[in-house]
A and B are shown apart, each in its own frame.
Chain A
């Protein structure tokens, strides 16, 4: 099964709050791959990228390093699309 991983840093000022988390989960659900988001830093954590509850409880604030991991047929496309959401700061600012 193909795997892919991309490291990013949360850039938008409010962090991964409800709206961006929803955007991320909606996007993640477009792919068949399993998606896991891993949080580094002082309070590490791990979330199912397709669960908004788990994503929001990561409490990833601005500046938090995250790894987006995907496993499945479309793993590479998934991490690319999801990483882009962070690069675009979820349309903020």
Chain B
């Protein structure tokens, strides 16, 4: 049993079997075997060791020939580890005494050895841990095969343990069987956190060396509410957490009763509740939780879930499916927003020095017009199938917006020539996520049909905090008065120009900020599906007048701590069980 403390980034509790992803994505999904399989597993282990010894011997000989005996000798030690009988005997004992698979036994024993090395005061030994991990991987590769085991097709519930989850990994996740995440690194707004909240499953990040502690097949408790991960919990903890799981699901049932009630303040103002999605298949769940439409469709996951750029038809198929599932409800489709923390394989090979300030999203699209046009054409083709709206991300200058609209015009003209139908008056909006755009909201409002405030990026650019860097992630706070001032001004600019304004960042789904955003005059909230019921509950418990008073008071504060403290108190007054 081992308890690890990290940052809880998506609430809830899950008890399940661990799948550990290492840097090479070798997955050890299963641990137990029937006793009569022990001889077969023993033989697999023997073969894997023999194969690894052959590989290593070749590597040693070629290295020695090329770089000399001294360098080649490094592999002698590796060979020595693989041939070490006491080590092999431990692995064999693990297989036969605990009825485990060879890969599980290798992983357990090698990690145990690595930990012994780490505990030695001698720094030379601590360094050798890398050699042990290396041999563990070599054996696992030989046992599991070199194929990248994907998490797309699982046959049982699991929790995913990784150093960090890459968007390309989460894009292909089996959304039925993956029940939680725990990562070595990351902050509250890291990609893992966003995906976990969107899926409504618990996640804890910033756990240090968790991947070194857990072996695939271990039982793991992920407590996203308290930010705790327990590896191989004891009987008492299991009882406690099972109870916790039950309570949580009762609350879920209670909130689901809110689904069909309108999101209306006590004085009768109705608020539009929209959901953020990554895949068309997320729509049904969002609607089930009470969303009235999709306020943010993150289309970049189309690019991340496959190894080639999506074709026009692949784009079209996804958008058509989304509109079909929505049955006439609105769909705000954000054009591709890659770069920064979301990379394609190709981008990852050619990293920028400062990706958040680099060629991301709209900038990338405007540098690759043919690619941009493929997406826009698919959007326009699908536009006749439902209530489609286009949103451009990361706009920082009016020129960018105008260029993007020009490209869209080109696309539309071509379609006209070809006689392909499209919706002529499709609404066009922009994300407000760069302070420059927020400060110029009045000018932008004249040229678009709506704004959507992306608070995650707006906060990070305003406060100069990289939300994925765990060393400074603590400075990331939407309650900073500078951020709130920008949000207030953008909402005002929108109201004055008579265009729609929504908030689609994490802030919209956090009950703590509901009163404030309402009071600032926000009428459209777009959030992850699982957050809809809680936010709706707060909306239904207040009057616009009260919310306005709260907002007025908040805007007089000069620190984020004061803001958060006050909002927590005020929210508790109307919905005591909110926190």
A contact residues vs B (CB 8 Å cutoff): 15, 17-19, 21-22, 25-26, 48, 50-54, 56-57, 59, 61
- Tell me which of A17, A53, A59, A61 contacts B84 (CB under 8 A): A53
Task: Find out whether the CB atom of A18 lies under 8 angstroms from the CB atom of B87.
Answer: no
Task: Find out whether the CB atom of B117 lies under 8 angstroms from the CB atom of A57.
Answer: yes
Tell whether A51 pairs with B87 under 8 Å between CB atoms, given A22-B77, A57-B117: yes
CA distance in complex: A50, B122 (Å): 22
Task: Find out whether the CB atom of A50 lies under 8 angstroms from the CB atom of B85.
Answer: yes
B contact residues vs A (CB 8 Å cutoff): 73-74, 76-77, 80-81, 84-87, 113, 116-117, 120, 122, 124-125, 128, 131
Task: Find out whether the CB atom of B120 lies under 8 angstroms from the CB atom of A59.
Answer: yes
Task: Find out whether the CB atom of A51 lies under 8 angstroms from the CB atom of B86.
Answer: yes
Task: Find out whether the CB atom of A57 lies under 8 angstroms from the CB atom of B116.
Answer: yes
A22 proximity list for chain B (CB < 8 A): 73, 76-77, 80
Nearest B residue (CB) for A50: B85
A61 proximity list for chain B (CB < 8 A): 122
Please give the distance in Å from B223's CB to the nearest CB on chain A.
35
Please give the distance in Å from A79's CB to the nearest CB on chain B.
20
- Tell me which of A18, A21, A48, A53 contacts B113 (CB under 8 A): A53
Give me the 5 closest cross-chain CB pairs, A-B, nearest first.
Answer: A52-B80, A51-B86, A18-B77, A59-B122, A22-B80
Task: Find out whether the CB atom of A19 lies under 8 angstroms from the CB atom of B125.
Answer: no
Can you offer 25 A-B residue contacts whose CB atoms are under 8 A? A18-B74, A18-B77, A18-B131, A19-B77, A22-B76, A22-B80, A25-B80, A26-B80, A48-B85, A48-B86, A50-B85, A50-B86, A51-B85, A51-B87, A52-B81, A52-B84, A53-B81, A53-B86, A53-B113, A54-B84, A57-B120, A57-B125, A59-B120, A59-B122, A59-B124
Most B Cβ at <10 Å: residue of A22, A52, A61:
A52
B86 proximity list for chain A (CB < 8 A): 48, 50-51, 53-54
Nearest B residue (CB) for A16: B124
B74 proximity list for chain A (CB < 8 A): 18
Nearest B residue (CB) for A54: B86
Given contacts A21-B77, A52-B77, 16 further A-B contacts (CB under 8 A): A19-B76, A19-B77, A22-B73, A22-B76, A22-B77, A22-B80, A50-B85, A51-B84, A51-B87, A53-B81, A53-B87, A57-B116, A57-B125, A59-B120, A59-B122, A61-B122
CA distance in complex: A17, B84 (Å): 16
CA distance in complex: A15, B87 (Å): 23
Please give the distance in Å from B518's CB to the nearest CB on chain A.
62
Task: Find out whether the CB atom of B128 lies under 8 angstroms from the CB atom of A56.
Answer: yes
Please give the distance in Å from B58's CB to the nearest CB on chain A.
18
- Tell me which of A17, A51, A54 contacts B124 (CB under 8 A): A17
